[in-house]
Amino acid sequence: MNGKQRIAAAMWHEPVDRVPVMCQLAIGHYLLNTDLTPVEVGFTSEGFARALVTLQQRYGFDGILINLMGTDPDWMRWVERIETGADGSQTVHFVNGDTARCPADDNVHHLPRGGQRRPTIDRVDPEKLYYDDPHGTGGQKYPFYFGLEPYRPDRDDYWPDYLWRTIDLVLGEVGDSISVHSEIFSPFTQFLELFGYQQALMYLLDDPDKCHTILAAYARGAADLGSRQARRGVDAVLISSAFAGAGFISPPQYDEFVLPYEAEVVRQVKAQGVPVYTHTCGDIGDRLERMADTGIDGIDTLDPPPLGSVDLEDAKRRVGDRVFFKGNIDPVGTLLKGSREQVRRDALWRLSVGSPGGGYILSSACSVSPRVPPENLTVLVEASKEFGTPG
């Protein structure tokens, strides 16, 4: 089997020749382990696509997650100058006075002229909400628009054509050999980004009715984006719902503010014929059944203690027949700080627990941090081959 076939079989709980391996890498890891500059990775589809494919090939992963949307090929028309520091970091100065700090080991940080201004909930018109991309050029805005030149987007013609460029480039490079996944932000994630995390959580208590209206608007946009990505040819769509764990909201709040909106996104994207899975960080051991109730096909991260609360054996018993699992290797204690042999032993144990009955993709729990040694990642595929065909 090739990577595309192997991951497809795992997602559908079908037999595999070996357990597939696919990790999500932090942007800083791409920067530290390729010859690409921060600006190339952060602002060009060509640069990010090359980073994705280069490290997939180096580590032997069976899949690639495209977690940044495509970029405007004419983005330099907004740029006044680009400065490069001695440490490899870069700063982009835009003609409108905004800046973007591009560390040598981290995501781009957009700094609007005059500082970030977030709206209060009473000033937000849900009719002006559809989908926000806080990592695109210009960062978070309200009302949102793509790029740096303000305009009022039309929901019927919302998506600039260049947003699909990275998907097209990666698919053109790997063909039918590697499983290619795209990412969308959940309604709840966008809600938190709109107001800032602390204030957004307060609004859940102070004005729940308005919160529901806002979440419904974001659900429509997220479902539209995920459906379009599916039609573009990706093999699966990941819903990034990083902040829906117990560190932020209770199980009853999950039922009220997350589950119904993610369920609607899942329903519409799955109608395109591709699997959908959810990435939620940290403490999710108390809500695995609730996550499965959204209708997703899989759960990503499954952070083990002490980062989270998921015991893989327990999770397998509880919802392993309903969803596939991707993750559960401690990205800090094991991948970052462990030796190559420690990583190998840890991976073999998780393979023995996660693979019975199918539905397991070996992966770091959350993103592979920038300074994880590359040799600790190449050992993952070696461990999968050593483990062999699941019994």
pLDDT tens across the length of the chain (391 residues): 999 999 999 999 999 999 999 999 999 999 999 999 999 999 999 999 999 999 999 999 999 999 999 999 999 999 999 999 999 999 999 999 999 999 999 999 999 998 888 999 999 999 999 999 999 999 999 999 999 999 999 999 999 999 999 999 999 999 999 999 999 999 999 999 999 999 999 999 999 999 999 999 999 999 999 999 999 999 999 999 999 999 999 999 999 999 999 999 999 999 999 999 999 999 999 999 999 999 999 999 999 999 999 999 999 999 999 999 999 999 999 999 999 999 999 999 999 999 999 999 999 999 999 999 999 999 999 999 999 998 7
Separation in Å, CA 143 to CA 147, 188, 204, 222, 276: 12, 17, 21, 16, 28
Bond before 331 cis per omega within 30 degrees: no
Order of all β-strands in the sheet with 79-84: 79-84, 90-94, 99-102, 109-111
For residue 327, list its beta bridge partners: 301, 362
Our measurement of the distance from residue 30's CA atom to the centroid of its chain's CA atoms, rounded to an integer in Å, reads 15
C-alpha–C-alpha distance, residues 243 and 245, integer Å:
6
Residues 77 and 69: beta-carbon distance below 8 Å: no
Q: Which of 233, 177, 172 is nearest to 6 (CA)?
A: 177
Does the model's pTM come out above 0.75?
yes
Report the length, in residues, of the chain.
Answer: 391
Separation in Å, CA 173 to CA 22, 164, 168: 18, 14, 9
C-alpha–C-alpha distance, residues 112 and 97, integer Å:
7
